Amino acid sequence: MNTNDLITSIVSSLSALNLNLSGNPVPISVRKLPLKQETIDPPTQVIVCPGDTPEEFRRASYNNHFFYSPQVQVVIITPNDAQEYTNLNTYLQWREQIAGALVAISGPLALSVEYDVPLDREQVADNYDYISLNARATLFQ
């Protein structure tokens, strides 16, 4: 399993959650960076992308085995239209559902989930609700 395999597994797990907002399904996109393109992307989406730190390789034994740890970031981006409370409960619920789906992925020896702040304040100031989770897998190779 490499970073791309982990991203594919995460997208599959998140698709099974059937996240929706006001009855509309929320698309899950794979991107290089957790950014939203204004004129192209839907207003609300979940982005899965490589993490902002490089993979780690650590020797596990003298027989050329390694622990390999890729990081993947999952980000919920949605416009807040200057609404500071609307849908907060929904986003926090999604955050917990996503974290549960990440931990349930099989394959890695361990998959840890790191929460960022519930809402990135800088993004909220730009009229976006931006919620991020980081998943780091530990694999034995």
**What's the CATH number of domain 3-140, 3.40.50.720, 3.90.1150.180, 3.50.50.60, 3.30.2000.30?**
3.30.2000.30
Query: Using CA atoms, how far apart are residues 29 and 52, in angstroms rounded to an integer?
Result: 17
Provide the pLDDT for residue 134. Answer: 80
DSSP-assigned states of every residue in the chain: --HHHHHHHHHHHHHTT--EETTEEPPEEE-SSS---TTTS-SSEEEEEE-SS--EEEE-SSSS-EEEE-EEEEEEEEE-TT-SSTTHHHHHHHHHHHHHHHHT--SSSEEEEEE--SS-HHHHHTTEEEEEEEEEEEEE-
Whether the Cβ atoms of residue 8 and residue 103 lie closer than 8 Å to each other: no
**Tens place of pLDDT per residue across the chain (141 aa):** 788 888 999 999 999 999 998 888 999 999 988 877 777 888 888 999 998 888 888 887 767 778 888 888 888 888 766 566 677 788 888 888 988 888 888 666 677 787 775 666 666 556 567 777 788 787 777
Separation of first and last alpha carbons in the chain = 9
Tell me what pLDDT residue 17 has. Answer: 93
